[in-house]
Amino acid sequence: MKRNLGGWAEGLKSYRLEIRHVTVLFIVLLIFQIIVSFLHKASLQKSLVHTQEWYQQDSAERLANLTATSLELLLESKTQREKQSEAEIRRMVQGFNIVLSQQILSQSVQEVCILIPRDSLVFAVDDGRVLYASVFENLKDIPPSAAPHAAAISLYTGLRKQIEAREQIHTIVEGKQTFHVFVPFVPRGEFVGVVYMKNTPDFSFITGEMTSSYDETTLTFLALILFGLLAMFYLSSYTLKERDDAQKLLFDKEKEHLTEQINHQKEMLFTKRIYHTHHKAEKVMGFIKDDLRSLSEKNIEETKARVTKYSNFIARVIYDMKWYDPPVQTIRSPLFRTDLNDVLKFLVHNVFLRVSTNHDKFQFVFDLDEHLPMVPVNEFVAWEAFEPVIQNCIDHGLAQKLVVTVRTRFDPGAGMIQVMISDNGSGIEPALLEKGDRGVKRVFQEHVTTRGAENGHSGYGCYIAHEIATQRCGWDLDAENLPSGGCQFIFSIPHKG
Of the three residues 175, 202, 229, the one that is the final residue of a domain is 202
Q: Which helix (H) or strand (E) holds 314?
A: helix 300-320
CA distance 292 to 329: 33
CA distance 281 to 483: 37
CA distance 308 to 152: 133
Structural domain contains residue 126: yes
φ/ψ of 459, rounded to 5, equals: 90, 15
What amino acid is encoded at 425 in this protein?
A: G
Q: Which helix (H) or strand (E) holds 467?
A: helix 461-467
> Under a CB-based contact definition with an 8 Å cutoff, are residues 261 and 46 in contact?
no
Q: Which pLDDT belongs to residue 64? A: 82
Structural domain contains residue 105: yes
Q: Which pLDDT belongs to residue 457? A: 46
CA distance 114 to 193: 7
CA distance 159 to 455: 124
Q: Which pLDDT belongs to residue 320? A: 72
Structural domain contains residue 265: no
User: Would the CA dihedral through 392, 430, 477, 483 be positive or negative?
Assistant: positive
Q: Which pLDDT belongs to residue 323? A: 66
Structural domain contains residue 299: no
Residues of the chain with pLDDT under 50: 2, 12, 15, 80, 452-457
Nearest alpha carbon to residue 383 among 314, 322, 451: 314
Structural domain contains residue 140: yes
Between vectors from CA 472 to CA 313 and to CA 252, what angle results, nearest 5°?
A: 130
Q: Which pLDDT belongs to residue 342? A: 94
Read off the CATH number of the domain in which 345 is found.
3.30.565.10
Q: Which pLDDT belongs to residue 270? A: 66
> For the whole model, what pTM was predicted?
0.49
Boundaries of domain holding 444: 331-494
CA distance 428 to 389: 13
Of the three residues 183, 202, 221, the one that is the final residue of a domain is 202
| Statement to judge: residues 183 and 43 lie in one domain | yes
| Statement to judge: residues 38 and 187 lie in one domain | yes
Of the three residues 202, 234, 254, the one that is the final residue of a domain is 202
**In the chain, how many H helices and how many E strands?**
11, 10
| Statement to judge: residues 41 and 181 lie in one domain | yes
